[in-house]
Structure formats: structure tokens, C-alpha cells
Amino acid sequence: MTADLNALKTDILHSISAANDIGQLEETRVAALGKKGRVTALMSTLGALTPDAKKEMGQALNILKTEISAALDARAALLKDQALQVRIAAESVDITLTPRPQPQGSIHPISQSMAEMMAIFADMGFSVAEGPEIEDDFHNFTALNFPPAHPARAMHDTFYLPDAPPGEAGNNKSGEDRKRLLRTHTSTVQVHVMQNRKPPIRVIVPGRTFRSDYDQTHTPMFHQMEGLVIDKATHMGHLKGCLIEFCKRFFEVDDLPTRLRPSFFPFTEPSAEMDIGCDRSNGGLKIGRATDSLSQSWLEVLGCGMVHPNVLKNCGLDPEEYQGFAFGMGVERMTMLKYGIPDLRTFFESDLRWLRHYGFGVLDQPTAVTAV
């Protein structure tokens, strides 16, 4: 009996180690331990034995089963490992290949300029405010002291939008004031800020603005940087000092000639435009002081003025108590002047060669960083 079992065991273990894949191994398992397997068949003969023989044979068969199961498991683990090694060898990548070049982005000159402007004004104690690009006539014109039918409204080449559905913002106003439009300047945010904050106010407003105009110096969408300062004793001297300091730092020219020219905006009184000096010698254009007075000329860079008392009133502030100044500049224009970019339209063409040429590295700091 034992000799028979030993022969059976040798035979089964042999076929286990001869199985070359998981399929063959499974066939071997079924042939030994399956329902009609050889070991199972022996188990079913136990019933006919005497109790002693039954005990002895039962124990022997159980040991055999355990040994076969262990051999099956070991062989299965080995075969799986071998299969894995074959896959790894077949699927390996050649890491010595040079990688494909990854396209690298760059910072658009508009973003760079805005970051520089914000860095300078932040040093002077300004914080950043923002407002909606879709506005109503009240915030864009009426509150800013543009009388109804005033020609300055027409000058703005406004994009009007369909009326707001009932219940939406703007509907608490009457008639014209409710008309929706794309803001034509960031001065709209002056109104929001004065309505919602208590002075002292010192904010700058970077943002997109829209006018229906398109040629070499105008695009329907462009960017402005607005400034607003409101306090009890703010005067024109503060305006002048703040803007001269800003221009010197933005253009990185310490000895920068500047001048204020009288101008008109409905929302400021008095109003002015600020010019910076440039050197036009040898047919060029360089920002700064020229060595001979014939080469010295002026470039307009921004509009500014003392906030009109009507605007303060329209925004809920008492002009007897508060006053302040505002200014606004075109970011594209400032960028073209600083970085020598000749055509405004190229800013929005998404030409990668242009961006590679004029763009800034991701890790570039604004050039106008704080002097410690």
C-alpha cells in the first residue's frame, strides 16, 4: 500500500515539475485532486476498509494531499515569476534614448507689465481691486459724471449688450442706467470701491476693457491699470509725487523728465495727462533725458485728476469731507514703450515666435522689485 502511494506521489510530483505553464499545471492538479482525480479516487475507497486500515490510509492520503498542494503552489509561484520575467524583458524601455523636447511656455508681456506695476504700487501702499467686465451704464458713465447724451459717451465706442433679464443686477436702476455693456474703462471699479469701502482708499485696478475700435494703435480688447486714492486731505501734490515716482520706477530711469498737461475727463476736476520725456536723437526713441534739447520730445502715458465732487456724491461720499485722485493708463501702451514693441495688434495674435521673442521666463521676477 505505502509503496503504491509512494509511486503515485513520485508520478504526480514529476508531472507537476514537468508542467511548463499555468494551464498545464491546472491539468495536473485536476488529474490528482479533482473530482475524478487519482488521489480523490483513493479517498473514496476508504469506506470499504477496516477501521485500523482506514485510519492509516486516511492519514497517509491526507499527508499526500498536503504535499501535492504545496508542490502545486510552489510550481505556480515559480511559473508566475518566470512569466513576469519574460514580460519585463519584453516590455523594457530603452532609457538611454534622448527625450522629446517639451514645449516651454512664457509669460506674456502684458502679464509681466501688470506684475511690475502692481509691485511698484504695492510698495506705495496700494492694494488690488477688481470689478466685472460686463457692466451697466450707471457704473461706466452716469456715476462717473457723464451727463446723459454727453458727447464723451460717444467717444468711448461702447459695445452694448442685450438688456438684463428681470431680477438680475442692474435692474434696481431706472431706464438708461440699466443698459448693459462691456466696460470701456476700469474707472467703473472706482465706483464699486467707493460704494463698498470706507476711506481711506488706496487701490489699483488691473483689468480688461473693451471699445469698438481696430487699427494699428487700437484693439477691441485692451488692458488698463486704474488707481484711486481717497482720504481727507489728499491733494494734487500727492497725485504728482505718486505718478512721477511710478514712472521713474516702471521705466527704470531715475532722471526721467515728466510733465502734467491740462486735459478733460468728466470724472476728474482738474484733469491732466502725464507725459514722459524721450530722446529722439539719430532717428531712435529712447525713454529718458536727451543730451540736446532739440532731440527731447514727449510721450503721453496716462490720464489723471482729482476725483470730481459729483462722483464722490454719486458713490455716497461727502465731498466736503473727502477728496482724492484717480489715474488710468493703457497697459499695452506702457508695455510697448518699455519693451520696444512696435505694433499693438501683435499682442493678441498668439504667434509663438512673437511670444518666444518678447515673452518672459516663468521664473523672471518683475524687474521693478523693491529696493531694500
Q: Which residues bind ligand PHE (CB under 6 A)?
A: 185, 187, 226, 265, 268, 303-305, 326-328
If you ran DSSP here, which 8-state letter would residue 104 be given? -
Give the nearest distance from C-beta 101 to ligand PHE in angstroms: 43
Q: Which is nearer to ligand PHE, 145 or 187 (CB)?
A: 187
Give the nearest distance from C-beta 302 to ligand PHE in angstroms: 7
Amino acid at residue number 17: S
Residue number with the shortest CB distance to ligand PHE?
328
Grid cell digits, residue 265: 475727463
Are 7 and 39 a contacting pair, CB within 8 Å? no
Q: Which is nearer to ligand PHE, 28 or 268 (CB)?
A: 268
Q: Which is nearer to ligand PHE, 204 or 304 (CB)?
A: 304
Q: Which is nearer to ligand PHE, 305 or 359 (CB)?
A: 305
Segment (H or E) for 299: strand 296-307
Give the nearest distance from C-beta 304 to ligand PHE in angstroms: 5
Give the nearest distance from C-beta 314 to ligand PHE in angstroms: 15
Give the nearest distance from C-beta 326 to ligand PHE in angstroms: 4
Q: End-to-end alpha-carbon separation of the chain, Å?
A: 98
Cα–Cα distance measured from residue 300 to residue 280, given in angstroms and rounded to the nearest whole number: 15
Identify any residues that bridge with 223 across adjacent strands, giving them in sequence order. 208
Nearest Cα neighbor of 325 from 302, 345, 341 is: 302
Q: Which is nearer to ligand PHE, 185 or 192 (CB)?
A: 185
Tell me whether strands 134-136 and 268-279 are parallel, antiparallel or unpaired: unpaired
DSSP-based three-state secondary structure for 331: helix
Are 317 and 199 a contacting pair, CB within 8 Å? yes
Give the nearest distance from C-beta 227 to ligand PHE in angstroms: 7
DSSP secondary structure of 136-203 = EHHHHTGGGT--TT-HHHHHT---B-PPPPTTSTTTTS-GGGG-EEE-SSTTHHHHHHHHHSPSSEEE
Give the nearest distance from C-beta 339 to ligand PHE in angstroms: 22
Q: Half-sphere exposure (CA, 13 Å, Cβ side) for 17?
A: 5
Q: Which is nearer to ligand PHE, 112 or 186 (CB)?
A: 186
Q: Which is nearer to ligand PHE, 34 or 220 (CB)?
A: 220
Amino acid at residue number 133: E
Nearest Cα neighbor of 185 from 298, 302, 312 is: 302
Q: Which is nearer to ligand PHE, 75 or 308 (CB)?
A: 308
Give the nearest distance from C-beta 293 to ligand PHE in angstroms: 30
